[in-house]
Each structure stands twice: as structure tokens, then as C-alpha cells.
Amino acid sequence: MNKISVALWIAGFGISSLIPVLGKELFSAKEVQDFTNSSRISSEGKNLLILRGQFLSSAKKIPYDPQKKYKLTCTAKLANGEKGMVYLGFIPYDAAGRRILSSEINAYPKTMTTLAADAEKGAMEICLADGSHWNNKTVYGNIAFQADEKLSDLPNRFLIPMAKGSVQKKDGSWTVKLKKPLNKRYEAGTAVRQHVDSDAYIYGARKNLTGAPQQLTAFFSGHATHGLSASKAWKGTSLVQVAIGLTSPDAAAVMELSELKLEELP
């Protein structure tokens, strides 16, 4: 390659490939007031000190477009304590600003069926046409009513928690006991599906902390068709709050946080 060719390569490709891709900043945590539950935060210079326990969320809800790409980053370390894990991600909301829970989108596979009999309001047991694939061991099970085979009902807000170990075959049909009385009447033939509670938020990154600063990075794009994802927002998400939290067996653990920001990538 001659000198002219090298110069053209550098001008056209070489230098541009070394320039970092900059995103549009959507959120940056610089002050205690940037979070809703600010009583658990204090500031030390440009850094924030966060106590163990309750997760913190950004003071504002940020629009989430599944067609776009997002980058969420922060730097964290333990300022006090020997063990701790930091979680970084989103709290999802629908277009009306209503929180989306994992139980509303975390459908258990192969559990679509129908009610084998009318389920009256106040009932503590319902009858299923087929409960053969339902998880009978989980303590986090829910029954989603008015379910759809194509998952268009997600997030499903017609949920009732079910009792562990209560799925039983009886007289040719299946019965399930509920943890609390049914809040409305459903007719026989109503489509139902089992759902399971899981993570409280969308955790894009998590890391064990030490006294040395560590960077966390999470990328998000699109919607998960159902269930949980670390790189896609839960189905129905239109708004998010940035969420971060510290868990630790040490009650006195404190996390030092800096450079927390959310960017929309080009």
C-alpha cells in the first residue's frame, strides 16, 4: 500500500473507527434528588453513597421505544462492608404509567387451557380442562384469566395467586386451589394459563462488588415476547425508570456510585 493509499484509508476509515460512538443522554444521576427514594442516599463530592436494601429508581419515567437501542452504565464500589452485589436495570411501565410486574408477563410454557366449569366470585378452587403441564411445586404460581394463545393479553392483569401443590386431577378434570377468593366470576371455557412470579425488575447487569471501582454496562432493545430478558424490555413496556440497588449480608454495607447514565444509541 503506497503513502497516498494509506492516507486515504486513515481519512476514510481508520480515524473514524477509533472515534467512540456517542449516544443521546436520557438520564444522568448527579444529585440525591435524581432518585425518588432519596432518603437512602447521601452525596460525597461527585459520588453518591447508597445503603444496602431497597432499590432506588430515577425520579422521572423515561420513554422506551422498542425500535431503538439503549445503553445503561455506572461505576460502583463498596465504600463500607466486605461483600455486596449491585443490580442495574429498569422498572417497566405501560403507556398509561402502570407498573408491569413479572407475574403479568412470565407465562409458564404449555399451560394454556380452559375452565372446565364456571368459577364463581369468591371461589377458593377452580376446575381446569387440563392441568397436566402446570408447575405444582412453585410457591410463586398465579392463574392468568382471559389468556390468549398468541400472548396478546400480556401483560395480563387478570391474575389470582394459586396454592402450592394444589393442582389435582379429579373426576376427569383438574382442580386448583387459590390463595385468596376469586375477585370476579368467569364462565366455563374461559382461557387460562399459569404464570410465575420472578424478578422484581429488569436486571440488565449485576456484579459482585469489592473496594475497587467496577463498571457495569447493560444494553437494551426491543420487547421480549414473553417472560424475562436481561437485554429486552418486558412486553408492553413504554416507560421505564432506571433502577439500581445493593444487596449484602452485611447490614452496614454502603455502595459508592458514580457516572450512572442512560443513553439512546444512534
**Residue range 199-255, pLDDT digits in tens:** 999 999 999 999 999 999 999 999 999 999 999 999 999 999 999 999 999 999 999
pLDDT, tens only, 82-122: 999 999 999 999 999 999 999 999 999 999 999 999 999 99
CA-wise closest residue to 158 among 132, 117, 116, 119:
119
Looking at residue 91, its pLDDT comes to 98
pLDDT reading at 65 higher than 70: yes
- 19 pLDDT band, cuts 50/70/90, is low
- The whole-model pTM stands at 0.88
Q: What is the mean pLDDT of the chain?
A: 91
Quick one: fold of 21-101+202-265? Jelly Rolls (2.60.120)
| 8 Å CB contact between 60 and 192 | no
Task: Quickly state the pLDDT bin for 59 (edges 50, 70, 90).
Answer: very high
pLDDT at 263 over 80: yes
Please, are residues 29 and 261 in contact by the beta-carbon 8 Å criterion? yes
User: Nearest to residue 33, comparing CAs of 23, 24, 41?
Assistant: 41
* Dist CA 11 CA 173 (whole Å): 73
Q: Would you kindly state where each structural domain of the chain is located, as residue ranges?
A: 21-101+202-265, 107-197
| Residue 22 CB-density burial (10 A; 0-12 exposed, 13-18 middle, 19+ buried) | exposed
Q: Give DSSP secondary structure letters for the chain.
A: --HHHHHHHIIIIIHHHHSPPP-EEEEE--SGGGBSSGGGEEEETTEEEEESSSPEEBSS-EE--TTSEEEEEEEEEEEE-S--EEEEEEEEE-TTSPBPPHHHH-BPTT--EEBSS-B-TT-SEEEES--TTS-SS-SSEEEEES--TTSTTPSP--EEEB-TT--EEETTEEEEEBSS--SS-B-TT-EEEEEE---SSEEEEEEE--SS-EEEEEEEESB-SSS--SSSBPTT--EEEEEEEEE-S-TT-EEEEEEEEEEEE-
Which grid coordinates are listed for 4? Answer: 497516498
pLDDT (average), residues 251-260: 95
Q: Is a pLDDT exceeding 70 seen at residue 79? A: yes
